Amino acid sequence: MKRLFRTILPPFSVQLAVFLAWYLSGKYELVPTTLLVPPDRVWETVKDMWSTGEFQTHVGWSLRRVGLGYLIGSGAGIALGAAVGISRRAQAWLGTTLDIFKQVPVFAWAPMMILFFGIQEASKLAFVAVACFYPVLLNTSQGVLSVQSRHREVGEAFGLSRTRIFLRIVVPSAIPSVLVGLRQSIALAWMAVVSAELLGAESGIGYFMTYSRLLFQMDGVIVGVLAVGAIGILTNALLGGLERWLVPWTKEVA
């Protein structure tokens, strides 16, 4: 029993404490229960939403948007990152433009996307893609650049063609960095989806949170927050696992 205490408790101690505080606050009305809805009521709401299919619908929409936007944004990021990393020419042509746009805080693009694409799907996808783009771009280009010239020279010494050097030397060496970029951008992408939905939508978790707030159903808001958090943690874990599987030799750096 003591062993269990020692292993299970530490990693989750803070979460347990927070949950306890939440529960006690509900029981003793430390915070108005209209605002901080007690855990049991929230759980009821979750069950309700699951049975009516509402939960699945909204989560489904958000996931769909994240998936698509992420693919587009990361794809573009990898492509351009690789180009800029390999070719000094590409770096010269594209570098300044990319640098200029990099200065703008990513969320500032949301209103513009909504202006251009309206409140339809395209605006949310566009915003998510933009949000994913830069982390992936930066990490990919850095990864490609850092492939030491020695390794390339080895390839040249062996008489490999440029493409083969790229495929068999540069790519494997750059993959760790690319994965770091992908992992950073999924977090950003998820935030982007929720933000876009908070601003203007008719479906999705962000919309659900707005809607709940307007109808003063704070349990719905809390359900939304928990869902956002849970999916964020899950996606991070998934990508982290992928990273460890593909490149087990990298060490986590902050």
Partner 1 sequence: MSTRKKLDLAKGLVIPVLFLSVWILWTRSHESLLIPSPWKSVLATKQLWETHALQGYLVTSLRRYFFGLLLGTSLGFAVGGLLGSSRWLERFFLPNLNMFRQVPLVGWIPLLVIWFGMEDLSRVVLIAMGAFFPILLNTHAGIRRVPAGYLEVGDVFGLSRWERFQRIVLPSALPWIRSGTILSLTFGWTILVASELLTQANGGLSDILDVGRERFRLDTVNAGIIILGLLGFAFNFLATRLWSIGPLRWLSQNIHNSHEAR
Partner 2 sequence: MRILTTALAALAQFALSASVKVLHLGMVGNPYDTPIATGILGYAQEHKLFEQEFKKDGIEVKWDFYKGTGPAINEGLANGAVDITSYGDLPGIIGKSGGIDTKLIVPGTVGQNIYVAVAPKSTLRTLQDLKGKRVGYLKGTYLHLAWIRLVHHLGLSEKDFKIFNLSQTEGVAALQGGHIDAYVGVNTFQEMAERGAAKILYTSNTRDALAREIQGFSVVVASSRFVHEHPDLVQRWVNIYVRASLATLSEDKREEWIRLSAKPGYSPDNIRKDLGENRLDQQNAPVFDERYLTKLRTSVKAARDGGLIRRDIDAAQWIDRSFLDKSLRSEGSKAPWSKGFSKASTP
Question: Contact positions toward partner 1, by CB under 8 A?
Answer: 10-15, 31, 35-36, 89, 92-97, 100, 103-112, 114-116, 187, 190-191, 194-195, 198-199, 209-210, 213, 218, 221-222, 224-225, 228-229, 232-233, 236-237, 253-254
Distance CA 194, CA 204 (A): 8
Q: How far is the CB of 16 from partner 1 (least distance, A)?
A: 9
Q: How far is the CB of 169 from partner 1 (least distance, A)?
A: 26
**From the list partner 2, partner 1, none, partner contacted by residue 217 (C-beta under 5 to 8 A by kind):** partner 2
Distance CA 21, CA 180 (A): 35
Q: How far is the CB of 7 from partner 1 (least distance, A)?
A: 10
Q: Is-contact 127 150, C-beta < 8 A?
A: no
Which residues fall within 8 angstroms of residue 117, CB to CB, at 6 or more apart? Answer: 123, 126
Distance of CA 129 to the CA centre of its chain: 11
Give the contact letters, 6-25, x = binds to partner 2 (CB under 8 A), - = no: --------------------
Distance CA 66, CA 190 (A): 6
Q: How far is the CB of 63 from partner 2 (least distance, A)?
A: 20
**From the list partner 1, partner 2, none, partner contacted by residue 23 (C-beta under 5 to 8 A by kind):** none
Q: Exactly one of 19, 50, 93, 216 binds partner 2 (CB under 8 A); which one?
A: 216
Q: Is-contact 177 136, C-beta < 8 A?
A: no
Distance CA 27, CA 106 (A): 41
Torsion of CA 193, 65, 55, 23, to 10 degrees: -30
For partner 2, the binding residues (CB under 8 A) are 32-35, 118-120, 200-202, 207, 210-211, 213-218
